[in-house]
Structure 1
């Protein structure tokens, strides 16, 4: 009898968080304020976007193998990083977020763009009680869901002490509360794109990730260090729309690309004519020179 309110409460908080995310849309970027219908545990929960902030690369954690690591172990100037803050024992939201992420990463739009090669993923637990053994189980689960064998070395699940977790969360504007009555956390769902040097480049808030948005965000964050020529062209035609949480067509970029394509097509179409005209001009000049030489010989 006494257990029912606790169970119900443990379900209400995650459902409330999901509801807030879905109602607010992809671009949440806000902190929940107190209200008549807002549970006390959700007040102050949300995301304050700190774009351009440099992460403390010496911040210490342990990975899923129990090894001592720092953020700098993964942000060493080589690849962009997808950074998540969540926790393995989360009853609802974290699992949904990770499932959505894996679904997007398995999308055909992410072909030839793999974890451990073009980018890394760092998932930091906000629960200081979690140990590497628990992180290892989570790592195994989502590595198996990711349909790219041999790439699990690029996805890292980190655990740490409360002080370092809060340092990272405060710096990136990730606001969450610990709910003592359930032993769980009220928290938002957000994905941060970090440059190879450890600078926050983009926030993708909410659930349901789009493969194109993930890919272009990482290409942009890497400043041309990853991605194909097509990706670079797409970045000139698309711009990130914060209201929709994804990349949308940019009229100016499309017009510029269209103008360049028109010039290229015209150039290719007129090239045979120019070559023919050039040859004809050279031939005429050659005939004129020969005629002049002949006249000079006869005169002599």
Structure 2
């Protein structure tokens, strides 16, 4: 997700988002995963129970929705989490069976209590991990996926992209999603794609093929684009052959007359 889909907050609350940051700092706030981006699976964080948890154990071999969040954010993080929770409930997929959810705090000053308050009544249970970590762990994770935030010390806030990511079971970044424009169907297909179509049964795999449109970027996925190009070329060839056959028959009839 490039600059065009970054920091929806800046459009909604520009005076807050830019309060203590320079234009140069704001321009560096991006979510642009490098080619082949992976989360570092061995990185250690702390869960809500105070236990050390690696990123790999939080993903647990399942396609994953990764939610970077500022647990003390007073602006968009709360609504974004509500949108994500609602969308997940409408995917007809089950957390802990079909996918995992990993919520990672991006501010090292946030505590476990901050994380509990932030997610209370929304995300939790099987397949969900809410993690806090050291500055080193947070920076290593965010740098690996191309997620760049900027702390605003004058307001104890973080300017950050309004975006989530889906991960393959091996930690590979598969897709980025706008956190404030998240639709259940888009999220379901993104999780199916992250799981290579192997979750949700046959209907899920068929849906992935039928609805290969990437609603976030407004383009078709590469695989679907190739399929459409092939099917389009085949259709043109069939039509051309049919028209040629009709013209040949008409000429033969004219010659007979």
8 Å contact kept, 1:139–1:156: no
Structure-2 change in CA distance of 1:57 and 1:128 (3 Å): same
**Does 2:67 correspond to 1:84?**
yes
| C-alpha spacing 1:232/1:21, structure 2 compared with 1 (3 Å) | farther
The CA deviation at 1:41 is 4.8
List, as ranges, runs of 4+ consecutive aligned residues in structure 1 with deviation greater than 6 Å: none
Match of 2:56 among 65, 68, 72: 72
The structure carrying a bigger helix percent of its residues is 1
**What pairs with 1:52-201 in structure 2 (closer than 5 Å)?**
52-77=36-61, 79-107=62-90, 110-111=91-92, 113-143=93-123, 152-201=125-174
- Say if 1:65 and 1:254 are closer, same or farther in 2 by CA, change over 3 A: farther
The SS at the match of 2:77 is helix
Check whether the contact 2:33–2:173 (CA below 8 A) recurs between aligned residues. Answer: no
Helix, strand or coil for the counterpart of 2:151? strand
Q: What is the TM-score normalised by the length of structure 1?
A: 0.64
SS at match of 2:154: coil
Q: CA shift at 1:186, angstroms?
A: 0.7
Q: Report SS of the residue matched to 2:79.
A: helix
| Alpha-carbon contact 1:64-1:139 (below 8 Å) kept | no
RMSD: 3.1
Counterpart contact for 2:108–2:134, Cα < 8 Å: yes
State the secondary structure of the residue aligned to 1:122: strand
Residue 218 of structure 2 is aligned to residue 244 of structure 1: yes
| Structure 2 unaligned regions, length at least 5 | 1-5, 13-21, 235-257
CA-to-partner distance for each residue in 1:114-141, whole Å, 9 max, x for gaps?
Answer: 2222111101101111122222233323
Offset of 1:66 from its aligned partner?
0.7
Q: Which residue of 2 aligns with 1:204?
A: 177
- Distance in 1 (CA, whole Å) between partners of 2:89 and 2:132 is 26
